[in-house]
Structure 1
Amino acid sequence: MESKWLHDFVALAEQGNFSKAADTRFVTQPAFSRRIRSLENWLGVPLVCRDRYPMVLTDAGESFLEQARLLLSQIYGIRGQLRQSLHEHCSLNFVTQPSLAVTFFPRWIHTLRPQLEDSLIRLNTGHYHDAIEQFMSGSADFLLCFSCDDVSPVLNQPVLNRPDVERIVVGQDRLVLVSAVDATGHPLHFLSADVALRLLLYPPTSFLGALIQRKCLPALSEQSYFPVCENALGEGLKALALQGEGASILPASLVREELAQGTLVELPLSAWVRLDIELCCRPPFRSEQVALCWQLIRQLAT
C-alpha cells in the first residue's frame, strides 16, 4: 500500500466527487480512480458506492476513513520524530554571557558556518555563574565566556580549571570607560578633580562587575565617583549611557559602533583591562558533529 492512496481516499471523502478530489491531488481523474481502485484491491473490500450519485462511501469505507486519517497522522508523526532525532544529532548547543551573544557570537559563528553546513545552532544565554552551571550540567556542548586571570579567584573560575574541561581562546576584548556627548561633541561626563563622576555599573557580583571593581575603578586614580545605576545587562548600561545618565565601563565590542559614530567617546583610564574570550568543552562529545566542530575550532585557533 502507498501513502498517496490514503491521501487520495481522504480527499475523495472530503470532496464527495472523483473529479474535484483528483484536482486537489493534482492528478487526472482516470489516474485518481485507478489509485482508489488499487487501495480497494489491497484492502480486499469496496470503499466507494460507484452506482450512487452523489458519491457515497460504503460501510467499510466509512469505517476505514478514520483509520486512514489515523494512519497518515502516525506515518508523518514517525517521520517527524525521526527527522527531529537526526536534526538533534546534528545540533550544536552553546551557552554564553549576554554581551557575547550580541557582540561576538554572530560574527564568529558566521565564519564557521561554511564548515558546519546546515547544523542547527542553539544559543542560550546566562550570566556568568548561570552559564557555567548550564555547561557543567551537560545542558550545552560549549561554553563561550569572558576570561581574565586577575578576577578568577574572585569568581571561582577555577571550576573550569579541571582535567575534563578543554579551553581555547577564540577572541579578545577590552573594557573601556565611555560617555555620551553634548551638541558640540564633548563628553557629558568627564574626569575632573572637582566633579565626582557619575557611573553606570555592572553589579559587583557579576563577572564584569567584579573585574571593574578590582581593576578599573582603581585605575581612575584620584578621580572621585559615585554609582547612579547598576544593571547586569551591558545593553541596558549602554542605553543609559547614550541617554547621558552617566559614564559606563563596558566591553569595547559592545560600543564599537557608537564610538565610531561619535555618539559615545572613550574617557582615559590609567590602565585598560584586556578580556580573553574562551570556548570550553567537556569530552567525550555527545555526537560526531560536536567533535568535528571542536576540532575545527582548535585548528582555526592555532
Structure 2
Amino acid sequence: MNFIWLEDFLALASSGNFSRAAEERHTSQPAFSRRIRALEEWLGAALFDRSSQPARLTDVGEWFVGVANDLINRVERVPGEARQVAEASSVTLRIASTHALSFTFLPRWLRGLESQTTLGPVQLMSDVLQRCEALMLQGQVQFVLSHAHSKAQGALDAEPYRSARIGEDQLVAVSAPDAHGHPKHQLGGSRSTAVQVLKYTEESGLGRITRAVLDRRLEAFAVQVVFTAHLASVLRTMVLDARGLAWLPQTLVQEDLDQGRLVAAASSDWNVPLEIRLYRDRELRGRAADAFWKTAAGV
C-alpha cells in the first residue's frame, strides 16, 4: 500500500469529483483514478459509489476516512518520536549560549561542573540571545545560557520553560583612558556636551537589558550613538579604539580594567546588575540532560 493513495482518497472523499481531486493532487485524472482503484484492490472493497455524480462514499469508504486520517497523522508523528527516542539515549548535551558568556563564563563553569559529575560530549551553539531563544523554541537545544534581568523578560522566562540562577555579572560603563588615566568618554559631566555611546542591536540580549534599564535615564543626557553591534566583544574592541563608551559585562572587561586598558566611564550607580541564568527545555529527555540540569541548578 502506498501512502500517497491515502491522500488521494481523502481528496476525492472531500469533493467526490475525480477531475477536481486529480487537479488538487497535481496529477492527471487517469493516473489518479488508477491509484484510487489500486487502493480499493488492496483493501478488497469499493470505497466510492461511482454511479452518482459526485461520487459518494460507500459504507467502507465512510469507515476508511477515519482510518486514513489516523494513518497519516501517525506517520507524520514518526520522525519526531524517533528523535525523542534517540535523544533519550543520547549522552550529548546541546547548549546554546550568548557570545559573551561563551567566551568568558561558560568554560570555567563547565570545568566546575566536571568536578562534581561526569559530563558527556557538549554541542555548543554560540549566538545572539534572540537566536538562542529560537533554537530552544524549535527544540534544537536542551539548554540556553544567557544574562538576564527582571526588567527585560524574554520568551524563555514564561511557562513552561524553567531556569536557574547559576552566576552573576554586571554591565559597567567603560571607556578608553586618556594620557592621564581619565576616561576619554564620560557620563556625568556637562549634560549639554554630547556623549559618544556604543550600543547593542535589537537582536542582542544585552541590548534588550540596556534598553529596559538605561534608555530612560540616558534621556537626560545629550547622547550620540556612534556605533551599534550584536556582540559585546565587538563593542569592547571599539571602546579600546576610543570610539566611545559602552556598557560591557564585567566578566568580559575585568582584565582590561585591572591593566588600565579601560577605565570606568560613569559612577557605580550606573552599573547594571545581571543574573547569569541557565534555561531548560520543557521536557528534558534522557539521563544525561536530566543529570546535567540537577547538577547545574543544584536540585
Q: TM-score range by the shorter chain?
A: 0.5 to 0.7
Tell me the equivalent position of 2:288.
Answer: 289
Secondary structure (helix, strand or coil) at the match of 1:151 reads coil
1:88-107 pair list within 5 angstroms: 89-107=90-108
Matched AA of 1:129: Q
Tell me the equivalent position of 1:134.
Answer: 135
1:161 aligns with 2:162: no
**Superposition RMSD on alpha carbons, in Å?**
2.2
Q: Which runs of 5+ in 1 are unaligned?
A: 1-84
Q: Which moved more, 1:271-280 or 1:127-136?
A: 271-280
1:238 aligns with 2:236: yes
Instruction: Label 1:265 to 1:221 Cα distance change in 2 as closer, same or farther (>3 A).
Output: farther
Matched AA of 1:141: Q
In the alignment, the residues of structure 2 paired with residue 130 and residue 172 of structure 1 have an alpha-carbon distance, to the nearest angstrom, of: 22
Q: Which structure has the larger Rg over C-alpha atoms?
A: 1
Following superposition, the deviation at residue 220 of structure 1 comes to 4.2
Following superposition, the deviation at residue 107 of structure 1 comes to 0.9
Give the TM-score of the pair, scaled to structure 1: 0.64
Q: Which moved more, 1:115-124 or 1:97-106?
A: 115-124
**Runs of 4+ residues over 4 Å off in structure 1:** none
Tell me the equivalent position of 1:62.
Answer: none
- The equivalent position to 1:190 in structure 2, one of 168, 179, 186, is 186
Secondary structure (helix, strand or coil) at the match of 1:149 reads coil
In the alignment, the residues of structure 1 paired with residue 209 and residue 238 of structure 2 have an alpha-carbon distance, to the nearest angstrom, of: 21
In the alignment, the residues of structure 1 paired with residue 290 and residue 156 of structure 2 have an alpha-carbon distance, to the nearest angstrom, of: 22
For the Cα contact (< 8 Å) 2:94–2:143, is it kept in 1? Answer: yes
In the alignment, the residues of structure 2 paired with residue 291 and residue 204 of structure 1 have an alpha-carbon distance, to the nearest angstrom, of: 33
For this pair of structures, how many residues does the alignment match?
210
Tell me the equivalent position of 2:204.
Answer: 206
Following superposition, the deviation at residue 171 of structure 1 comes to 0.9
1:250 aligns with 2:251: no
Matched AA of 1:266: A
Deviations 1:169-217 (A, max 9, x none): 1111111110001232121112321521111110145332232233224
In the alignment, the residues of structure 1 paired with residue 109 and residue 144 of structure 2 have an alpha-carbon distance, to the nearest angstrom, of: 14
Following superposition, the deviation at residue 118 of structure 1 comes to 5.3
Instruction: Label 1:239 to 1:277 Cα distance change in 2 as closer, same or farther (>3 A).
Output: same
For the Cα contact (< 8 Å) 2:90–2:286, is it kept in 1? Answer: yes
Tell me the equivalent position of 2:277.
Answer: 278
Tell me the equivalent position of 2:176.
Answer: 180
For the Cα contact (< 8 Å) 2:156–2:279, is it kept in 1? Answer: no
